[in-house]
A and B are shown apart, each in its own frame.
Chain A
Amino acid sequence: MKTNWLLAVAAGWLLGGCVSERVVLLPSPDGRTTAIVVRDAQGEVVLDQAYAGVQRRAGEISRVQSSSAEVEELFGAALAAQPQKPRSFVLYFAGGADVLTPESEAELATIKGEIAGRPASEVMVIGHTDSVGGLEANDKLSRLRAETVRDILIAAGVPENKIEIAGRGEREPLVKTANEVAEAQNRRVEISVR
């Protein structure tokens, strides 16, 4: 029924005489549902379909259904300037030591290539732990892991000033577990290249 309403309004929308504002929700890249809400003095409009939009003309806001062609026409230049999406890599340690697994070691070359290939690249090295131990202790541990990987990257020739470190502790497990569960997959360091 929401779709019908959107289509009806789109049919009534011919030419934009003096549209002063537009907002269009774009399709989510992974196909998941997504939404934005546009608020003004009159109230709010929720946009939750691909290319659903609002436009303001003579102070009045109305729903419109845009399209990929129209978005390209109006926003093509802005979209063409969009920075490359960040890319993440995950490294694992062999045992509990400061030594990467052979697979992770092999991935370093790809990571270096990614960093070198981007304009004004930056790197966030993010440590993670499993749920064994307290929150604070894990924050500290995850940061230490990130520092270890930072040093590995620097040794591999990545400029130090590009690298920032973060420790997410046990907040973002790859594999969900109960508290105090040892899980090797969660003891990892993520390298986010942007």
Chain B
Amino acid sequence: MPVNIRTICMAIVVAGICGGALAAEGEAAGMVKNSKGDVSIERVGARIPAVVGTPVFAADKVRTGADGAVGVTLRDNTLLSAGPNSLCVLDKFIFDSTTNAGVISVNVRKGTLAVVTGKIARQTPESVDFRTPTSVIGVRGTEFVIEAGSGDED
């Protein structure tokens, strides 16, 4: 099977917030390329402002306020961007730049996320997923959007 050269775009919306922080170690998974209004990253319990140029690590929680929006490019060229009142966690990011194999798992706890998939989704789509409080979105081929929201926030 030839390698498919395509990207998926999607959008997701979710409502609801959850907690939990892990340590950030090693190589950055990506970098903040756009930042507007109130945007922060929670890493190992600390909260840092997510200005343009801030590295993003696996396990980071990216949060936007009511006037906030943020765009992050991951090392495999995946584009993630969140609208206002969002909380997205980069649960997993592993990328081998020799084979383009890797793992991405992004949890949209609340708010909106737009996605353009990158090299990992082309090479190993089965190891890329996006999660909301109730669903798991798998990638079979490019661009989409996700919203999660309403209900319990904790």
Contacts and interface: CB of A to CB of B under 8 A. Distances in A.
A120 B140 CA distance: 30
Contacts of A6: none
B124 interface: no
B145 A79 contact: yes
Chain B contact residues: helix, strand, loop or mixed: strand
A75 to B, nearest CB: 4
A18 interface: yes
Contacts, number: 219
A36 interface: yes
Contacts of A153: none
Given A36-B140, A36-B144, A77-B69, A82 B79 contact: yes
A163 interface: no
A64 B65 CA distance: 28
Given A32-B142, A79-B11, A85 B116 contact: yes
B52 A75 contact: no
Interface stretch (B17-25, B41-49, B81-89): B81-89
A102 to B, nearest CB: 29
A24 B11 contact: yes
A23 B10 contact: yes
Contacts of B132: 21, 23
A130 B9 CA distance: 32
A24 B81 contact: no
Interface string A76-114: 111111111110000000000000000000000000000
Contacts of A139: 98
Interface of A: 18-30, 32-41, 46-48, 54, 56, 59, 61, 71, 74-86, 118-120, 122, 124, 126, 139, 164, 166-169, 171-172, 192, 194
Given A26-B142, A82-B34, A124-B97, 17 more contacts: A20-B151, A21-B147, A22-B13, A26-B143, A28-B143, A34-B6, A56-B135, A71-B145, A75-B114, A77-B83, A78-B145, A79-B114, A84-B33, A85-B79, A120-B32, A120-B33, A120-B52
